[in-house]
Amino acid sequence: MSAEGYNIAVAGATGAVGGAMLDVLNRRNFPIKQLRLLASERSVGKKLQFKGQDIAVELLSKDAFEGIDVALFSAGASRSLDFAPAAAAAGAVVVDNSSAYRMDPEIPLVVPEVNPGAIAQYTKRGIIANPNCSTIQMMVALKPIYDKVGIKRIVVSTYQAVSGTGANAIEELKNQVKAYVAGEKIINDVYPHQIAFNCLPHIDSFLDNGYTKEEMKMVNETRKIFNDSKIGVTATTVRVPVFYGHSESVNIETEKKISAEEVRALLKNAPGVKLVDKPQLCEYPLALDCAGKFETLVGRIREDESIDNGINMWIVSDNILKGAALNAVQIAEVLIKDYL
């Protein structure tokens, strides 16, 4: 670890996730020597604040990475495919938040609480992939149970916030609510249907098997992160009119029996988890409570009475923080501590 800090670039700095990356770097006091902010033509020259200083946004280009130690990417998959290899060739280690490289066998897919050891594989291509938001929060909550009693199968339904889609989707939900209250016409550009006061069983595009890409990310990324090609996962991912925080109903079938009480005891001390499970007091994880927090909230822990070894739970986390920006910065923290 270097005493004077690291040169960090943020590609997609003006977006919903990029902005959160700056906030997390600041909140966790990441040792920064120089910070370079990159985005599209549209934002060049725009100034963003970091620790009281104004920093001008520069163009994301292949030559923007000279002297950079770690490049945090969050400008969409096509930008990552175009620019991450150039950043790595310039000597930066890329932590990529898009779906571009996640299933590449040469690129590690990392949740620091779950498989930090995989980071060592970054040397192959100079890129580390940050998993999908819905997958990350589920992994954080399930890891202690997986290690203790084994998990055979996961059935998950998600209730995902609009911020996952980006800054323009946050605007769309706000505008639709305003239009509804004012009795005006509701316009949808980002989503194929009105999202205000609605639920859309459609996140990312549809595949030939009838599932969405988002659903299949949860299946394939879970297997890669747990390094378990046999674990069964089936997902239904739904967009709900919430700004920040994905909620998930998760049902697991374990290899060995575990009681709800034992799950609560395990999760009470699990890294990155906050147990919120006093339903008699109306205390359970809520999207509104997770916004801005680093922890993944877990509650409504119950035994599934329809099978021998089953548990139900409700898992909620800030999709922009643990689901994206925080997880990426945590990966960078392990990198500088153990490898750079």
Catalytic residues, by residue number, are 133, 246
Question: Which of 161, 252 has the CB closer to ligand 25A?
Answer: 161
Closest distance between ligand L14 and the C-beta of residue 203, in Å?
5
99 binds ligand L14 (CB under 6 A): yes
Contact by Cβ (8 Å): 96, 73: yes
CA–CA–CA angle 112, 83, 207 (5° rounding): 70
Question: Which of 115, 165 has the CB closer to ligand L14?
Answer: 165
2 binds ligand 25A (CB under 6 A): no
Q: Which of 150, 101, 98 is nearest to 124 (CA)?
A: 101
Question: Which of 29, 205 has the CB closer to ligand 25A?
Answer: 205
Q: Which of ligand 25A, ligand L14, none lies near 168, with the C-beta cut-off 5 to 8 A by kind?
A: ligand 25A
Query: Site for ligand L14 (CB under 6 A): how many residues?
Result: 9
Closest distance between ligand L14 and the C-beta of residue 130, in Å?
8
Question: Which of 60, 107 has the CB closer to ligand 25A?
Answer: 60
Q: Which of 136, 190, 146, 185 is nearest to 168 (CA)?
A: 190
Q: Which of 305, 300, 222, 228 is nearest to 263 (CA)?
A: 300
245 binds ligand 25A (CB under 6 A): no
Tokens standing for 112?
């620091």
Burial of 189 (0-12, 13-18, 19+ CB in 10 A): exposed
Beta-carbon contacts of 110 under 8 Å, excluding residues fewer than 6 positions away, are: 116, 118, 119, 128, 129, 130, 131, 225, 327, 331
- Subset of residues 143 to 172 that bind ligand L14, contact rule: CB under 6 A: 160, 164-165
The position carrying tokens 């020597």 is 33
Encoded one letter per residue, x for contact with ligand 25A by CB under 6 A and - for no contact, window 99-138 reads: ----------------------------------x-----
335 binds ligand 25A (CB under 6 A): no
227 annotated ligand binder = no
90 annotated ligand binder = no
Residue 247 Ramachandran class (φ > 0 left, ψ -120 to 50 alpha, else beta): beta
132 binds ligand L14 (CB under 6 A): yes
Residues contributing to the site for ligand 25A (CB under 6 A): 12-18, 39-40, 42-43, 60, 74-79, 97-98, 133, 164-168, 324
